[in-house]
Structure 1
Amino acid sequence: MFYWFYRHLEINIFQYISVRAGISFFISFLLTMYLLPKFIAWAKTKNASQPIYEHAPQGHQEKAGTPTMGGIVFIFATIIATLLTAKLNNFYIMGGLLTVILFSLIGIQDDYSKISKNQNSAGLSARVKLIFQFIAGFAVVYLVYSYGHTTSLYTPFYKLPLFDMGLFSIVFWMLVLVAASNAVNLTDGLDGLATVPSLMAFFTLSVIVYISGHAIISSYLLLPNVQLVGELTIMGAAISGSLIAFLWFNSHPAQVFMGDSGSLPIGAFMGYMAIVSKSEILLLLIGFIFVLETVSVILQVGSYKLRQKRVFLMAPIHHHFEKKGWKENKIIVRFWIISFMTNLLALMSLKIR
């Protein structure tokens, strides 16, 4: 809509991505701030709360009764803000919207199975969830591949592509989307733990897509120039605004959880932004906390199956620190600090090439 003002009413300020990104941020923020209290009140009347895992560390049972599926609200706000401010004929915007919608639908189905009458904390089986994620991932990356998006693989600190992945890029990009989606989902175990690292990641990725879409800046920094991808900065700003508003209610002690309906599309959209900006490898640093949580689960499961011994007291790793006696707030803030530092390093890598 705001770009329409520029095209038809000659309000020139709305031609700039930075201006529309700022507007998108505040629309999403205010919409989430308005809707989320109403959603929390409605969810409490419907008893839409996720059952707490019986083996969770001491103290988690106190969170029983906290509404879940708050992700529906901030994903909805993100979509509305994007529709109002972005160019809807831009392929990368449509791909981003498709990504969050598909993965949010998977999360909604998973959350609903948890809060339904059977009160099953497990939700969808891991196999079924993965199948749905790979189907959604394939739909997104096949469109990206068919659009003619470059299939070259880039790495941080090196200005030239390593090699052309060709058709294999479809498989690689699917893995990036699904892995990122599940990594955020695993991290979402403490109040605000996944929210702030996600915010930092989206800020970094929004900077990167803006630079990648700008011919002059990308050339100066020796980054791959991807035409039209800069418009995705607007959607990155929208989801950041909605996440800040969500944090208002999700900070400890949380009034609402995002649920899989929020964590799955957040992770998938991170992966999508990394793919279209040619930052797939850099995503390991941008989302370091999510990588750490995922690796801790892989090590724990692998060690127990091979040696019948555990590496951590409990996985994901944030539960390990809970078992060691760390207070929840201390774990959360320290993980935020780590995320800030790794995102700072990721931004520094843009200049060191």
Structure 2
Amino acid sequence: MFYWFYRHLDINIFQYISVRAGIAFFIAFFLTMFLLPKFVKWTKSKNASQPIYEYAPDSHQEKAGTPTMGGVVFIFSTIIATLLTVKLNNFYVVGGILTLGFFSLIGIQDDYSKIAKKANSAGLSSKAKLILQFFAAFIVAAVLIMYNHTTTLYTPFYKYPLFDMSFFALAFWILVMVAASNAVNLTDGLDGLATVPSIMAFFTLSGIVYITGHAIFSSYLLLPNIKTTGELAIIGTALIGSLIAFLWYNCHPAQVFMGDSGSLPMGAFMGYMAIVAKSEILLVIIGLIFVIETVSVILQVGSYKLRKKRVFLMAPIHHHFEEKGWKENKIIVRFWIISFMANLVALMSLKIR
């Protein structure tokens, strides 16, 4: 809509991505702030709370009865803000909206199943969830292939592409989106733990897609110039705005959880932005906390299956520190600090090439 003001009413300021990104941020922020309390009130009236995992630390049992599926609100607000501010004929934007929509639907189905059956294990099976995620990622990756998105692979701190992935790019991109989606989902175990690192990641990725789509900035920083990717930064800033509003209610002690309906699309979109910005490998640094959480689960499961011994007291690793006696707030803030430092390194890599 705002870009329409520029094209048809000659309001020049709305041609700029930075201006429309700022507008999208505030629309998503205020819409989430307005809708979320109403959503929390409605879910409480319906007793729509996610059961607490029976093997979670004892301190988590006091969270029983907290409403879940808050992700529905901030994803909805992000999409509305996006539709009002972007160029809708931009296929990178279309891919971004598809990513948020598809993965959110998977998360909603999983959350609803848990709520309806009042059991943490009653959601979608791991196999069913993975099949749906791979299918959704395949559609999005196919859109990128269809519109000839470059298939070259780049690495941080090196200005030249490593090689052209050719038709292997489709499988690689699917893996990136599914892996990122599940990594954020695993991290979402403490109040605000996944929210703030996601805000930082989207800030970094929004900056990178904007630079990548800008001929002068990308040339100066020796980054690949991919035309029209800059519009994707508007979705990123809209998501940041809605997540900041969500954090208002999700910070400890949380009044609402995001649920899979928030964590799955958030992670998938993180992967999608990295793919578009040719930062798939850099995403390991940008989302370092999510990587650490995922690796801790892999090590725990692998070690127990092979040696019948546990590496951590409990996995994911944030539960390990809870079992060691760390207070929840201390774990959360320290993980935020690690995420902040990792994203600074990621931004430094743009110049050190």
Give the TM-score band, short-chain normalised: over 0.9
Deviation string, structure 1 residues 94-142 (Cα, Å, up to 9, x no partner) = 10000000000000000000000x2120211111100000000000001
Q: In the alignment, which residue of structure 2 is the partner of 1:74?
A: 74
Q: In the alignment, which residue of structure 1 is the partner of 2:98?
A: 98
The amino acid of 1:10's aligned partner reads D
Counterparts of 2:119 and 2:136, CA distance in 1: 24
Q: CA deviation at 1:181?
A: 0.1
The amino acid of 2:258's aligned partner reads M
Counterparts of 1:196 and 1:330, CA distance in 2: 14
Structure-to-structure mapping, 1:83-94, within 5 angstroms? 83-94=83-94
Q: In the alignment, which residue of structure 1 is the partner of 2:342?
A: 342
Q: In the alignment, which residue of structure 1 is the partner of 2:136?
A: 136
Counterparts of 1:203 and 1:19, CA distance in 2: 16
Counterparts of 2:203 and 2:309, CA distance in 1: 39
Counterparts of 1:261 and 1:112, CA distance in 2: 9
Q: In the alignment, which residue of structure 1 is the partner of 2:278?
A: 278
Q: CA deviation at 1:211?
A: 0.2
Determine whether 1:328 maps to 2:328: yes
Q: Any idea what SS the aligned residue of 2:58 has?
A: coil
How many residue pairs are counted as aligned between the two chains? 352
Counterparts of 2:220 and 2:21, CA distance in 1: 23
TM-score (norm 2): 0.99
Q: In the alignment, which residue of structure 1 is the partner of 2:10?
A: 10
Counterparts of 1:10 and 1:288, CA distance in 2: 44
The amino acid of 2:308's aligned partner reads Q
Q: In the alignment, which residue of structure 2 is the partner of 1:298?
A: 298
Structure-to-structure mapping, 1:90-239, within 5 angstroms? 90-116=90-116, 118-122=117-121, 123-239=123-239
Q: Percent identity?
A: 79
Counterparts of 1:82 and 1:146, CA distance in 2: 23
The amino acid of 1:157's aligned partner reads F
Q: In the alignment, which residue of structure 2 is the partner of 1:260?
A: 260
Q: Any idea what SS the aligned residue of 1:59 has?
A: helix
Counterparts of 2:145 and 2:277, CA distance in 1: 14
The amino acid of 1:71's aligned partner reads G
Q: Any idea what SS the aligned residue of 1:179 has?
A: helix
Unmatched tracts of structure 2, length 5 or more: none
The amino acid of 1:119's aligned partner reads K
Counterparts of 2:278 and 2:54, CA distance in 1: 41
The amino acid of 2:341's aligned partner reads M
Q: In the alignment, which residue of structure 2 is the partner of 1:64?
A: 64
Q: CA deviation at 1:177?
A: 0.2
Counterparts of 1:16 and 1:128, CA distance in 2: 42
Counterparts of 1:142 and 1:21, CA distance in 2: 27
CA RMSD after TM alignment: 0.4
Q: CA deviation at 1:171?
A: 0.4
Q: CA deviation at 1:58?
A: 1.5
Regions of 4+ moved over 3 Å:
none
Deviation string, structure 1 residues 172-216 (Cα, Å, up to 9, x no partner) = 000000000000000000000000000000000000000000001
The amino acid of 1:304's aligned partner reads Y
Counterparts of 1:43 and 1:202, CA distance in 2: 28
Q: CA deviation at 1:158?
A: 0.5
Counterparts of 2:146 and 2:93, CA distance in 1: 16
Q: Any idea what SS the aligned residue of 2:67 has?
A: coil
The amino acid of 1:336's aligned partner reads W
Q: In the alignment, which residue of structure 2 is the partner of 1:287?
A: 287
Q: CA deviation at 1:317?
A: 0.2
Q: CA deviation at 1:314?
A: 0.2
The amino acid of 1:299's aligned partner reads L
Q: CA deviation at 1:275?
A: 0.2
The amino acid of 2:290's aligned partner reads F
Counterparts of 1:164 and 1:325, CA distance in 2: 48
Q: CA deviation at 1:146?
A: 1.2
Q: CA deviation at 1:84?
A: 0.2
Unmatched tracts of structure 1, length 5 or more: none
